[in-house]
């Protein structure tokens, strides 16, 4: 059997960003995009992507630092080496995420879902989500040629978001 080391993630998924080096021993700042910030450490290995170049990373140690983290990369104990990772994206393989129960979904799964209001009028397609303090917001690419602006819809389940149909990739909303 041939053992092949994979240095490019399967089904890449962005989970964070690398900041600048920290100290002289090769630690580096990490900013997590996961809902629970420290959950980023559950999805290993990481791949750093910078200028279309991939680097597979193993974490030796990490610590909470202010509103983000600092990490020590296995085999690196020199600041000059970690400086090349500054501003890299932190990517994981999508298959490292835990499996979900039926009808559950990750935020990235609902990108490109079609959005309809409860009158079954087509509003547009989900192009992104914004994480806000009180509730998240769907960004809908407006299907109307008259209005060029995107539609922003608060993601408040049962009140505004009536149904997320994962089978057909539709979202039904109470929105006019």
- Measure the CA–CA gap between 70 and 110, rounded to whole angstroms: 31
Give residue 6's pLDDT: 60
Domain 12-95 carries which CATH code?
2.40.30.60
Q: Which CATH architecture has domain 107-173?
A: Roll (2.30)
Give residue 146's pLDDT: 60
Is pLDDT at 5 greater than 70 in this prediction?
Answer: no
Residue 86 near residue 29 (C-beta atoms within 8 A)? no
Residues whose CB falls within 8 Å of the CB of residue 172, separated by 6 or more in sequence, listed in order: 115, 116, 117, 118, 161, 162, 163, 165
Percent of the chain residues past pLDDT 90, beyond the cut: 62
Instruction: Report, as an integer, the average pLDDT of 151-169.
Output: 92
- Measure the CA–CA gap between 79 and 89, rounded to whole angstroms: 19
Question: SS3 for 158?
Answer: coil
Instruction: Report, as an integer, the average pLDDT of 24-34.
Output: 94
Whole-number average pLDDT of the chain: 89
Give residue 4's pLDDT: 43
- Measure the CA–CA gap between 54 and 13, rounded to whole angstroms: 13
| pLDDT tens digits, one per residue of 132-159 | 888 889 999 987 666 678 899 999 999 9
Q: For the chain, which residues make up each domain, given as ranges?
A: 12-95, 107-173
| pLDDT tens digits, one per residue of 43-54 | 999 999 988 889
């Amino acid at each position: 059997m041939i053992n092949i080391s994979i240095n490019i993630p399967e089904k890449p998924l962005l989970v964070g960003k690398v900041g600048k080096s920290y100290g002289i021993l090769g630690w580096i700042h990490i900013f997590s995009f996961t809902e629970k910030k420290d959950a980023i450490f559950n999805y290993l290995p990481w791949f750093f992507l910078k200028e279309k170049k991939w680097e597979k990373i193993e974490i030796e140690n990490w610590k909470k630092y202010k509103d983000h983290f600092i990490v020590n990369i296995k085999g690196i104990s020199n600041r000059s080496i970690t400086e090349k990772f500054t501003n890299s994206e932190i990517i994981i393989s999508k298959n490292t995420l835990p499996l979900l129960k039926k009808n559950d979904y990750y935020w990235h799964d609902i990108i490109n879902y079609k959005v309809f209001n409860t009158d079954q009028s087509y509003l547009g397609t989900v192009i992104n989500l914004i994480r806000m303090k009180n509730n998240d917001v769907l960004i809908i690419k407006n299907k109307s040629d008259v209005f060029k602006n995107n539609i922003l819809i608060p993601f408040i389940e049962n009140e505004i978001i009536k149904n997320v149909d994962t089978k057909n990739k539709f979202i039904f909303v109470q929105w006019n």
